[in-house]
Amino acid sequence: MTLALMLISTSAGAADMHCTALHVIENTAGKVYATYKINIKDNKGVFNIDARFEGDDDKKMISRQIFLTAERISDTGYVFTAKKIKTNPSESINEVSSLINFYPDFFWQQDKSTAFSIKRHQNSHIMSWSAEPMFFCF
């Protein structure tokens, strides 16, 4: 699954990135309305996610902070690894929730990684992820 996000505001350098994004994901399981805040400095950072899931008779909230390391692997490619995940009291999902079908393991499990592509687009950036990349070419 590859998903793309249009960032609302951003600044990015070799080791730094600060951005906020609004994102809607829809598939057969339902719809997710999410806000992301990403702050990375010196290859360490926090990925905040606050989202609402609406499915058939199922409404859940996700609210968590993912403390991460970021490794740049190409001009546009990064690997984020979740080092610690802190859930906030408003979160109402569990590990078997349908919401897990929308996001890679990086969002749920410590020490899991996911690949991101960050590309310039006018005055902003487009950030995409793939839960299971086939391979990296250097």
Instruction: Report which of residues 124 and 132 the model is more confident about.
Output: 124
> For residue 1, what pLDDT is reported?
40
Token digits of residue 83: 């080092």
Confidence class for position 15, pLDDT limits 50, 70, 90: low
pLDDT above 90 covers what percent of the chain?
33
- What 8-state DSSP symbol labels residue 76? S
Given a contact cutoff of 8 angstroms between Cβ atoms, the answer to whether 91 and 62 are in contact is: yes
* Residues 89-114, mean pLDDT to the nearest whole number: 83
At 132, phi and psi to the nearest 5?
-135, 85
